[in-house]
Structure 1
Amino acid sequence: MTDSYAVFGNPIAHSKSPYIHRQFAEQTGQELAYTKQQVNEGEFEQAADAFFAGGGKGLNVTVPFKLDAYGYAARLTPRARRAGAVNTLAKQPDGTLLGDNTDGIGMVNDMHNLGWEIAGKRVLLLGAGGAVRGVLQPLMEQEPASVTIANRTVHKAEQLSKGFADLGVIEPVGYENLSQKEPFDLVINGTSASLSGELPPLPDDLLAEGAACYDMMYAAEPTPFLAWAESHGAEQRADGLGMLVGQAAESFYVWRQVRPEVIPVITAMRHTLSAKKGA
């Protein structure tokens, strides 16, 4: 019998997860079926119960259900507990459900694939929401020289810095204070500004020489943040397509104990995006 997996979200029509996991399955010779399912808000638990009762082996969970999945899991990995959210549910041999969060390791692995160094770098994260919370532990484990979180509401950045203080010093600041800081080697945009075409207010001297800029969002065209990065001299720039594929690869490993190759899938998806842009 073919093992069954799915992604739950709302909306979900745009999800690339079925394509990604089909590619992984073909690569690795794993026999599985992967679908996407739109779930009504307030009905996550019922939908998940039905999925697993029907023989489902694992779920990916996207907006707005990552907190629901966090509460639904019987056990949590340390990185899921840190993130305060779950994007991967895996049925264990004893029938219980393990909750994991693969977003952060997906981003870090993408940076490694790009040849970017994190260790010893001055890192700035823009935003203090769930996206940033989800990547902080894997990022801190790379031993950057310093980590700063900038947010419109400084209190939210302060809460994050306190919650992760045992992993190292994280400095919370408001955007208006960034001009007083030393330039940063790596700037990561974890805000949803790229979706609305807006940018946080960033000073012109934010970037150190040779700086890299990473946007967790992705699109066919450069995001507003990456356009800003190019115009301000960032030597390296990347959007979140590799993070999307990377977090899926980590989910695939959690489920199947097999590591797929991400580069061919990223390349194919980038080609598709470029073709749509030119259409």
Structure 2
Amino acid sequence: MSIDSSSSSPVLRFAVFGHPVAHSLSPRIHAHFARQFGIALDYAAIDAAAERFDVALAEFAAEGGLGANITLPLKTRAAGICTHLSERARRAGAVNTLIRSATGWEGDNTDGVGLIRDLTERHGLDLRERRTLLIGAGGAARGVAPALLDAGIGDLFIVNRTGERADALADTLGQPGRVHPRYLDDVGNLGNFDLIVNATSAAREHEFPSLPMSLATPRTAAVDLSYGEAAIPFLAWAKVAGAHDRIDGLGMLVEQAAESFERWHRRRPETDPVYALLRQGAGTLVTAD
């Protein structure tokens, strides 16, 4: 921990880990939150591929790191290095928030609560009994699936290119009569949905799947966990398909960051001013954390 020469307050060290991570808005978001409380904060973006993540995290801890956010593709790997997992991280099998403790890293997952707060409080959606399609079964999908179920959605269909990953997520969620894993190739046989959530990074990799228009209706809400350019292909499909609500992941990003901030600093930041500021520059944003 270092000391800011302009203040007697210690500078608290945090970071976001991912690969790639240079695009991340997390440093900006947490800087805005810290200013609300006069907290001296050093929040960096640290690029670490999966094979180097453990070493990079150990170096960060040795240099005084107190907590970290975890983004693609490290969320499930991060869960494996924690000495303790919160209930929501355990249910997800993925971690996006690390808290340094005397015994090692504690892991939490704030993605789900961030998504639900954005959809219900900012966008005013009632998620109860919505027949839901979740596209993807990686760390992002794992983070939001338990929260969607807790929010009262109806049946949840999980589709993924690799069916085994969809099966694994469904097994983790543990509600076989309500959660249905399927292959992505079979999505055209599933009927239409009231809520469609894209939790893949396919658009960033220029591999966004072709989705049938029959999935959406005029009552459908389509949500992409990415934002900016990465959300364009899915939200463009949703517009043509006639979905009533088309929402990107910027609000979720801000809300999950606020939850992480509160875990670290025990203070709840105001999110609306930060969201509005970032939304003004949304055309330059690249992808989700």
* TM superposition score normalised by structure 2: 0.86
2:278 corresponds to 1:269: yes
Choose from 146, 162, 173 the match for 2:155.
146
| Shift in Å, 1:168 | 5.9
How far apart, CA to CA, are the structure 1 residues paired with 2:191 and 2:60? Answer: 50
Is 1:101 paired with 2:112?
A: no
Following superposition, the deviation at residue 198 of structure 1 comes to 4.2
> In structure 1, what is the equivalent of residue 55 of structure 2?
46
What's the CA shift for 1:210?
Answer: 1.6
Secondary structure of 2:242's aligned partner: coil
Gaps of 5+ in 2: 1-9
Deviation at 1:75, TM superposition (A): 0.7
1:74 paired residue number: 83
* Residue deviations 1:142-163 (CA, integer Å, cap 9, x gap): 1112111122333332332222
Spell out, residue by residue over 1:209-234, the C-alpha distance to the aligned partner (whole angstroms, 9 max, x if none).
32110011111585111001001111
Distance between the aligned counterparts of 2:17 and 2:242, measured in 1? 39
Structure 1 residue ranges without an equivalent (≥5): none
Q: Distance in 2 between matches of 1:28 and 1:258?
A: 8
Aligned-partner Cα distance in 1 for 2:53–2:184: 36
How has the CA–CA distance of structure 1 residues 173 and 42 changed in structure 2, closer, same or farther, with 3 Å as cutoff? closer
1: CA distance, partners of 2:161 / 2:210: 9
Question: Aligned pair count?
Answer: 276
Equivalent residue number for residue 127 of structure 1: 136
Indicate which of 255, 258, 261 corresponds to 2:264: 255
Identity, % of aligned pairs? 42
Q: 2:117 corresponds to which letter in structure 1? A: N
Q: Which residue of 1 aligns with 2:119?
A: 111
The secondary structure found in structure 2 opposite 1:119 is coil
Correspondence 1:156 to 2:156: no
> Structure 1 CA distance, aligned partners of 2:176 and 2:273?
34
Q: Secondary structure at the match of 1:210?
A: coil
User: How many angstroms apart in 2 are the aligned matches of 1:183 and 1:95?
Assistant: 48
Aligned partner (choices 36, 45, 60) of residue 36 of structure 1: 45
Q: In the superposition, relative to structure 1, how do residues 172 and 220 fare at CA in structure 2: closer, same or farther (>3 Å)? A: closer
Shift of 1:170: 0.6
Q: 2:227 touches 2:285 (CA, 8 Å); kept in 1?
A: no
Contact 1:128–1:156 under 8 Å retained in 2: yes
Whichever residue aligns with residue 87 of structure 1, its letter is N
The alignment's C-alpha RMSD in Å is: 2.4
Q: Aligned AA for 1:225? A: F
SS of the aligned residue for 2:281 comes to helix
* CA distance 1:88–1:167, change in 2 (3 Å): farther
Aligned residue identity for 1:116: L
Contact 2:130-2:194 at 8 Å conserved across structures: yes
Distance 1:275-1:79 versus aligned 2 partners, 3 A rule: closer
Instruction: Give, in whole Å, the separation in 1 of the partners of 2:134 and 2:230.
Output: 22
CA distance in 2, matches of 1:263, 1:135: 21
Residue matched to 1:4: 13
The 1:266/1:178 distance shift into structure 2, 3 A limit, reads: same
Matches of 1:33 and 1:211 in 2, distance apart? 41
Which secondary structure state, in structure 1, belongs to the residue aligned with residue 194 of structure 2?
strand
Return structure 1 stretches of 4+ with deviation > 4 angstroms.
none
Question: What's the counterpart of residue 234 of structure 2?
Answer: 225
Alignment of 1:65 onto 2:78: no
Is the CA contact (8 Å cut-off) linking 2:203 and 2:231 kept in structure 1? Answer: no
Q: What letter matches 1:104 in structure 2?
A: G
* Contact 1:175-1:201 within 8 A present in 2 as well: no
Counterpart amino acid of residue 258 in structure 2: A
1:211 to 203, 220, 224: 220
Greater alpha carbon shift after TM alignment, 114-123 vs 155-164 = 155-164
